[in-house]
C-alpha cells in the first residue's frame, strides 16, 4: 500500500490522517467529537498529533482507546473496557476532546456480534456504537501491572530491594508470583523491551527458581537445562536462589544468596 492520506468523517468533524505502509492494519473506530472516556486513563503523552496518539495506542498492548485533546495536543491512552461494554453508555461530553476506539483485531471485513465473535486468548470482545464488535487485549487485573507484548502474561517490575522470601511474599500479596523465565524469548522480552533501557548494567532481578538437590528447578519442578544456552545458570557460588543478572551485554541467569536483596519481577497468577 502506498503512503497516502485518508479522511475520517463523523458527525460534523473531519480528520486528516496520514497512514504509512507499515500502518495498513491500523483500524480506528472514531466514537465522536466532544466525547471523553473518564476513569480508564493509564498513560498521558503531551504535544503529539492525533494519528501519532492512535499509533502509540495501537502498539501498546493494553490500550483500548484514546482521549485526544485537539486544542492542547494531549494524548490519553485508556484500558479496562468491560467485556461487551457499549461505549455510548460510558462516554462523557467534554468540549474539544475526541474519543477513539482503536481496533486491533486482525479480522477483515465486517465484525460479528460478541456472541459469535471468537476472540483469541487474553482478549475480550467490545461492542461499538454501530453495533459491531472487535477483539481487544484483556487488561491486567491490577492497574499497576503491564500486559506483555505477546499478550500472554501480566507483570510488574519492583524497584524495592528485598530478599527472595520477602519478594515472594510481596508478589503473593498482589495475587502474583515471582516471574518464571522458562524460555529464551521471555528472557529477551524482559531484557530488550524493559530492563536494559531503564536500568544500568551490573544489576539483578529476583525471579522464580532455586537450586535443589544439585539441580536448578522452577516452581513447577522443571529442571533448567545446564548443557548450554540461555538456561545455563552462571555459578558464582553465592547461594541457591535465581537472579536475572546483567553485568555487560545481555541478561543471564545467575545464582544468588537467598538473603541478598535485589529488585524483583512479579507475574500475575
Residue 135's pLDDT is what? 67
Please tell me whether residues 55 and 28 are part of one structural domain: yes
Domains held by the chain: number: 2
Residue 57's pLDDT is what? 84
Please tell me whether residues 160 and 215 are part of one structural domain: yes
pTM beyond 0.75: the answer is: no
Please tell me whether residues 122 and 153 are part of one structural domain: no
Please tell me whether residues 104 and 125 are part of one structural domain: yes
Q: Which of 137, 170, 197 is the last residue of a domain?
A: 137
Distance CA 209, CA 216 (A): 7
Residues sharing a CB contact under 8 Å with residue 132, sequence separation 6 or more, in sequence order? 29, 110, 111
Return the CATH number at 212.
Answer: 3.10.100.10
Residue 175's pLDDT is what? 92
Longest dimension (CA), the chain: 71
Return the CATH number at 51.
Answer: 3.50.4.10
Residue 170's pLDDT is what? 97
Please tell me whether residues 124 and 181 are part of one structural domain: no
Please tell me whether residues 240 and 188 are part of one structural domain: yes
Per residue of the chain (269 residues), give pLDDT as tens: 333 333 333 232 323 333 333 443 444 444 578 888 877 787 888 888 888 888 888 777 667 788 999 999 999 988 755 444 555 556 788 899 988 887 665 443 345 567 666 776 666 676 665 566 666 666 677 878 887 766 578 899 999 999 999 999 999 999 999 999 988 889 988 888 788 878 878 889 999 999 988 899 999 888 887 777 888 898 888 899 999 998 778 899 999 999 999 999 999 98
Q: Which of 137, 171, 201 is the last residue of a domain?
A: 137
pLDDT in tens, 150-196: 657 889 999 999 999 999 999 999 999 999 998 888 998 888 878 88
Residue 258's pLDDT is what? 95
Please tell me whether residues 109 and 172 are part of one structural domain: no
Residue 218's pLDDT is what? 92
Please tell me whether residues 248 and 155 are part of one structural domain: yes
Residues for the chain: how many in total? 269
Please tell me whether residues 185 and 133 are part of one structural domain: no
Please tell me whether residues 81 and 39 are part of one structural domain: yes
Residue 241's pLDDT is what? 95
Cell 491490577 found at: 142
Paired with 255 in beta bridges are 242
Residue 37's pLDDT is what? 81
Q: Which of 89, 114, 137 is the last residue of a domain?
A: 137
Please tell me whether residues 131 and 180 are part of one structural domain: no
C-alpha dihedral (38, 12, 54, 17), degrees to nearest 10: -170
The parent domain of residue 250 ranges over 146-268
Please tell me whether residues 151 and 246 are part of one structural domain: yes
Amino acid at each position: 500500500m502506498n503512503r497516502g492520506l485518508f479522511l475520517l468523517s463523523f458527525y460534523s468533524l473531519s480528520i486528516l490522517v496520514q497512514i504509512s505502509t507499515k500502518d495498513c492494519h491500523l483500524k480506528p473506530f472514531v466514537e465522536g467529537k466532544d466525547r471523553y472516556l473518564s476513569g480508564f486513563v493509564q498513560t498521558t503523552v503531551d504535544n503529539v498529533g492525533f494519528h501519532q496518539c492512535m499509533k502509540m495506542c495501537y502498539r501498546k498492548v493494553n490500550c483500548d482507546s484514546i482521549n485526544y485533546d485537539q486544542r492542547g495536543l494531549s494524548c490519553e491512552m485508556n484500558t479496562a473496557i468491560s467485556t461487551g461494554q457499549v461505549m455510548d453508555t460510558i462516554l462523557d461530553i467534554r468540549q474539544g476532546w475526541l474519543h477513539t476506539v482503536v481496533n486491533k483485531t486482525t479480522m477483515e471485513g465486517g465484525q460479528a456480534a460478541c456472541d459469535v465473535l471468537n476472540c483469541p486468548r487474553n482478549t475480550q470482545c467490545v461492542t461499538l456504537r454501530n453495533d459491531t464488535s472487535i477483539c481487544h487485549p484483556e487488561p491486567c487485573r491490577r492497574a499497576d501491572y503491564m500486559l506483555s507484548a505477546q499478550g500472554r502474561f501480566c507483570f510488574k517490575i519492583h524497584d524495592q530491594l528485598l530478599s527472595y522470601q520477602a519478594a515472594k511474599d510481596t508478589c503473593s500479596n498482589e495475587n502474583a508470583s515471582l516471574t518464571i523465565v522458562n524460555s529464551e524469548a521471555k528472557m529477551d522480552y524482559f531484557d530488550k523491551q524493559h530492563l536494559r533501557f531503564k536500568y544500568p548494567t551490573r544489576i539483578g532481578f529476583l525471579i522464580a527458581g532455586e537450586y535443589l538437590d544439585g539441580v536448578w528447578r522452577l516452581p513447577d519442578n522443571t529442571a533448567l537445562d545446564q548443557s548450554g544456552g540461555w538456561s545455563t545458570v552462571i555459578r558464582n557460588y553465592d547461594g541457591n536462589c535465581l537472579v536475572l543478572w546483567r553485568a555487560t551485554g545481555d541478561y543471564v541467569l545467575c545464582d544468588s544468596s537467598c538473603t541478598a536483596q535485589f529488585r524483583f519481577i512479579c507475574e500475575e497468577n
